[in-house]
Amino acid sequence: MRRTTAYTLVAILAVGLLWMVSSAPVAALENAWGYNYDANQASYAAIETANPAIRDGGFSYMRTGVQRIINGNVYYVEIGWYVSASNPNPRYHWTYRATNGVIDSGEGGAPGCCNGYNYQVLNVGAGDWQIFYNDLSTPVVTVGTGFDTADDYFSGGETSSASNAMGISGNWNVSYRQNGTWYCACDWQPYITNSVYYVAGINNTSWQVGGNN
């Protein structure tokens, strides 16, 4: 399920190709998000739940998270809503990849279609990150990633292939935390792996993600 395409392209982005749209990705997974390279210890977004069409037996996923890039390897922690062919009912879904190679995920809840819900990942030190769904006072899980500071934040969609719809979802009030202070994602830019998807600005801290609906 994880995003080989995203990892490959993020490594390319790291060396300076910051605006990239490809209609012929090297792997099936597709991504469209707003992001930027700001060192951070948290990411937040209020994300609207949607009901995207799943046409390939796979999934569509809309989330916020952070990534740490070490020697070309991408480690991450993220949460959002997720639908799949096997379970078309939206639920929250979190996942992470730790520096020791562990990849894990979990899900639950029932974020209702077309409402916005809070999603947040927050570093609490010693390589641990708390992951929040809607209630920002109580994490659904704490995971050990092996890193405390991420290289970038992002919020947006992923699909198992370009056959599937993405969103349509507002990613509202996206923000990141740096050294104890929250900042707006005012310097965000789009990252899109397939032109069937789009990231469109709503205001300087919010954007809509969708496509192939």
Confidence of residue 21 (pLDDT cuts 50, 70, 90): very low
**Within a 10 A sphere around the Cβ of 181, how many other Cβ atoms?**
7
Q: 16-25, 34-43, 130-139: which has the minimum mean pLDDT? A: 16-25
Are 62 and 130 within 8 A, CB to CB? no
Q: What are the pLDDT digits (tens) for 76-96?
A: 999 999 999 999 999 999 999
Residue 110: is its pLDDT beyond 60?
yes
Average pLDDT over all residues of the chain: 89
> Exposed, middle or buried: residue 212 (CB in 10 Å: 0-12, 13-18, 19+)?
buried
Find all residues with CB under 8 Å of 17, minimum gap 6, and list them: none
Cβ atoms of 83 and 93 within 8 Å: the answer is: no
pTM listed for this prediction: 0.88
Identify the weakest region by mean pLDDT among 8-17, 92-101, 103-112.
Answer: 8-17
Q: Tell me, what's the pLDDT at 13?
A: 36
Domains belonging to the chain, first-starting first, are 4-211 (2.60.120)
pLDDT at 176 exceeding the cut of 60: yes
pLDDT higher than 70, residue 69: yes
Would you call 153 exposed, middle or buried from its count of C-beta atoms within 10 A (0-12, 13-18, 19+)? buried
Q: Give the whole-angstrom CA distance, residue 86 versus residue 89.
A: 9
DSSP 11: H
Arithmetic mean of pLDDT, 184-188: 97
pLDDT reported for residue 15: 31
In sequence order, the 6+-apart residues with CB closer than 8 A to the CB of 184 are 173, 174, 175, 204, 205
Would you state the pLDDT for residue 14? 35
